Amino acid sequence: MHSNRIIHSRDFIKRFKPKNFHICNKLKKKHHGGWQRALKSTPIHHTTVPVIISTNCRSLPNKILLSSGIHHNTGIVTLQETWLHDSYDDNIVSLNDFNVFRQARVCSKKKCGVGVVTFIHSKWSISNKVCLKFSNEYSDCITVRYRPKHLSKFKFIYISNVYVSPGCTKSDLSMFADEFTAFAAACFENSINSNW
């Protein structure tokens, strides 16, 4: 080491930094993960890709009040095994600011139908249309076509809500698969023809 070299301690050097430098550092530390914070604070109607919640609720009517507080910043909610039938009105099982699309199981031998429900946030989607409803003894399906407000490349997005019961046989599942495949092929063909 050189004998004529001056060495200062860290505390001595800190005294010469401007006082607002420490404030700037604190502000920088505050904004780590900025895109995550921005995404969480973005309103649902400004997003292209929605937040989707899907669950097996097992009897929706008695849980609708509990569910209403959870879905405030969600674009799509899909529920299976809702146990709804025709005597339940849509107003009873609706969530605030959501459009309700449901398929109750009509072929079931049980007293409570199983069924599926899809909720789409009204501020997030411009137009909604039910494209496919399918129900037999072992499976339920509802497919909704919707258009988000900020979707630039494609015209529509399809969401399918499917429930297959544990007792489903291969023949029943293949019947549903054939119906769903024919629907998907028709949708794909229509989208190709409309884009060209």
Q: The domain spanning residue 77 has which CATH number?
A: 3.60.10.10
Q: Summarize the confidence of residues 74-98 as an average pLDDT.
A: 80
Kindly state whether residue 39 falls inside one of the protein's structural domains.
Answer: no
- pLDDT of 196 above 50: no
Q: Summarize the confidence of residues 40-51 as an average pLDDT.
A: 73
Kindly state whether residue 40 falls inside one of the protein's structural domains.
Answer: no
Q: Which residue has the tokens 């995404």?
A: 39
User: Read out DSSP for 54-106?
Assistant: EEE-S-SGGGHHHHHTT-TT-SEEEEE-----TTS-TTTT--TTEEEEEE--S
Q: Do residues 69 and 96 touch, judged by C-beta distance below 8 A?
A: no
Kindly state whether residue 169 falls inside one of the protein's structural domains.
Answer: yes
- pLDDT of 21 above 80: no
| Domain span at 96 | 50-195
pLDDT tens, residue by residue, 125-161: 888 899 989 888 888 889 999 888 777 777 788 899 9
Task: Select the more confidently predicted residue: 2 or 48.
Answer: 48
Task: Select the more confidently predicted residue: 20 or 53.
Answer: 53
Kindly state whether residue 138 falls inside one of the protein's structural domains.
Answer: yes
User: Residue 150 has what pLDDT?
Assistant: 75
Q: Summarize the confidence of residues 62-76 as an average pLDDT.
A: 67
Q: Which residue has the tokens 């609720």?
A: 57
Distances (CA, A) of 104 to 14, 75, 139: 71, 22, 10
CA-to-CA distance for 35 and 149, rounded, in angstroms?
21
Number of folded domains that form the chain: 1
